[in-house]
Amino acid sequence: MLPNKKQQTFALISRRYTPSVIQSLATIADFLQGAGHIVIYEQETAQGAAIPGVASMPLDELANIATAAIVVGGDGTMLGIGRRLAPYNVPLIGINHGRLGFMADIPLDRMIPVLSDMLEGKYVTERRILLDGAILREEQTIHRAMAFNDIVISRGAGSGMIELSVEVDGHFMYSQRSDGLIISTPTGSTAYALSAGGPLLHPSLSGIGLAAIAPHALSNRPIVVPDSSEILVEIVEARFPTINFDSQSFASVHNGDCLLVRRSKCEVTFIHPKGWSYYDTLRDKLGWNESGQGNSLGSDG
């Protein structure tokens, strides 16, 4: 993918245009060009960052020629760009200019040394699944979108709960009354699903998580189903229900509408620094005890 000495083309992308981000973009471009590679700014990035004298191109055109995309920003930027590049199989390198950095995992103060190592073939790759969601009304598709993190059915702005009926592979699983339902990829298990009490899923797992938001019945627990599953959720009763995809694409729906969720045919490849570990990321971002001497269930007493 990267480990060769031939000239390669890198897409440089951001959705933040503060002076520090613009400086980071320029530093990366100078480094890659100095190493003999081609750097092309995604068109919107070039306009927002106001960088003169640098080639730019619309993302869908750039995706056809880029070896990899370097994304400077936070996880939200990675989500949006990941969805758009997934059909082109362009791998992503994330430079963390945000806060958490579950996906954009290269720190600013290490970006040039890490990129230098990557050009020498010192990196690891990882593939992540996406979800394809279709909203059905009277068996006709009225909206379709992909999700990298999750698809969320919510009660919307109205008071009261939403009532849902859930089937998996044609088998009735449960009815629930709640504030909503989160259907997440393993990537999304550290996002909204985690806040709703869902399990952490390692990105290599072939599973899709379902977690109710504030369920009326406490017995309604999160569940993980195979990612080969076809999940059908009917909106039985709600006042102003909505469905969102990664909190970046929204659709208003009606009682009787259904959401059909399958694993997408597209995947996203991440390029991580050599030695990267998902467990290191969890420990760092979630503040897990590093010494192994924290609270335990047992007692020596």
State residue 260's pLDDT score: 98
Which of the 8 DSSP states describes residue 100?
A: S
State which of 40-54, 193-207, 275-289 shows the largest mean pLDDT: 193-207
Question: Is the same domain home to 135 and 235?
Answer: yes
Residue 4 lies in a domain: no
The CATH number for 221's domain is 2.60.200.30
Residue 218 lies in a domain: yes
Structural domain span for residue 208 = 130-265
| Alpha-carbon gap, residue 65 to 138, rounded angstroms | 41
What would the two tokens of residue 298 be? 């047992």
Residues designated catalytic = 75
SS (H, E, C) 113-138: HHHHHHHCCCEEEEEEEEEEEEEEEC
Residue 278 lies in a domain: no
Position 16: which residue type? R
Task: Please tell me whether residue 210 adopts helix, strand or coil conformation.
Answer: strand
Query: How many domains does the chain divide into?
Result: 2
pLDDT in tens, 130-151: 999 999 999 899 999 999 999 9
Residue 2 lies in a domain: no
Asked if 77 contacts 14 with a C-beta cutoff of 8 angstroms, the reply is yes
Identify which of 116, 45, 297 has the alpha carbon closest to the alpha carbon of residue 93: 116
Token look-up 């009917």 returns: 234
Phi, psi angles (nearest 5°) of residue 113: -55, -40
182, β-bridge pairs: 152, 211
Whole-model pTM over 0.85: yes
pLDDT in tens, 47-104: 988 777 779 999 999 999 999 999 999 889 999 999 999 999 999 999 998 676 788 8
* Tally of residues, the chain: 301
Question: Is the same domain home to 147 and 78?
Answer: no
